[in-house]
Amino acid sequence: MRCLVTGVAGFIGSHLAERLIELGHEVLGVDRFTDYYARELKEGNLGRLRGEPQFSLATVDLATADLRPLLAGREVVFHQAAQAGVRPSWGQSFEGYLHDNVLATQRLLEAARTYGRLRKLVYASSSSVYGNAEDVPMHESSRTAPYSPYGVTKLAAEQLCELYRRNFGLPTISLRYFTVYGPRQRPDMAFHRFISAVLKGEPVRVHGDGEQTRDFTYVSDAVQANVDAMEGAAVGVFNIGGGSRVSLNDALRLLGELAGPVRVERGEPQAGDVRHTLANTAAARAALRYAPRMPLREGLAAQVAWQTRMLGLSR
C-alpha cells in the first residue's frame, strides 16, 4: 500500500516507517523538524530509511502547507506528528501545541475528506486524554479529563478524528498510547533521562515519591498496533498498553540491575503529571488482535543497549 507517515523522524514514526517498508509498503514520510530536541537525533532516526527506494521524505508544516500533494494516491495515513511533552505545554508554549496538535490534525482531516481516497487514517492519541484518573484500568468508555494542556490538545485532535468519521464517513481510528519506550525514545522522556543519568554516573531526578505507576508499552508493540489498525476494518478509539504496569521506584530498581547503580534525587511533583495509568486493552484485542509481546525487562535492556551505543560507551 501507499502510506503517508507524519512525524516520520520521531521516535514512533521512524520505527513505524521502517516496519511498513519491511512489509513491502511504500512510505512518504513527513516531518517539520521542530527544535523541541536536536535535529541530529531525528536525522539519526531516519538513518535506515534514507537508503530505501520505497521511502521518500517531505519537510512540511501540516498546519500551513498545501496537503493535496501529500495525499495524492495515498491509501493509508498514519498521523504520528505532534508537539509532545506534558510539562512544557503550559504558558506561552501552548500556542505551539495548538498549531501542531489541533490545527495540523484538522487540516489533515479536511484535506483527506476533500481530496483523499483513504482506506484508513490512523491517529496517534495518548493516555493523557484520561488525565489523573482515580479508577484504573482505563477503558475507552472511561471519563476523559486531561490533566495538562498537552492532554487537552491530544483529546481535541482525537475528537476531531471522531467528528470527521461520524459526519463524513472518513475511516479514522485513534490509538491511545500508554507510555511508549524503547530505542530512539525522545530525550525528554523519563526512561531516556534515567538511563542517560545512570550511564553517566549522575543522579536520577524523580519528581514525587516514585510510587506513581505507568503502563509501559514497548515501541514495537505500538508499531504493531498501527499495522493491525491499517489491515483491519475497525474504526473508533482503542487503548494500546504494554501490560507492564510498575511504579517508577520498581522501574529504577530494574534499571539498576541492567545499567548500574542508581542514585535518586527527589523533587516536587510537577504540574500535569498524573498518578497512575493502566490500559484495559480488551477492545484492541478483540478488534485488532492486539497483544503486547515485549516484557519490560527485555525492552528496557534494549533501550539501555541503544543509549549505551549512542553515548559511545562500552559494556
Residues with catalytic function = 150
Dmax over CA atoms of the chain, in Å, equals 56
Distance (Å, rounded) from C-alpha 198 to C-alpha 263? 8
Q: What is the phi-psi region of residue 24: left when phi exceeds 0, alpha when psi lies from -120 to 50, beta otherwise?
A: left
Of the candidates 147, 140, 3, which has an alpha carbon nearest to the alpha carbon of residue 74? 3
Cell of 88: 512544557
Strands (E) in the chain, as ranges, are 2-6, 26-31, 55-59, 76-79, 120-126, 172-177, 180-181, 204-207, 213-218, 236-240, 244-247, 264-267
User: Other CB atoms closer than 10 Å to residue 289's CB: what's the count?
Assistant: 13
| Helix, strand, or coil (residue 111) | helix
Cell of 268: 516536587
DSSP 65: S
Of the candidates 150, 192, 224, which has an alpha carbon nearest to the alpha carbon of residue 306? 192
Tally of helices (H runs) and strands (E runs) in the chain: 11, 12
Q: What are phi and psi of 180, to 5 degrees?
A: -80, 140
**Cβ atoms 283, 239 nearer than 8 A:** yes
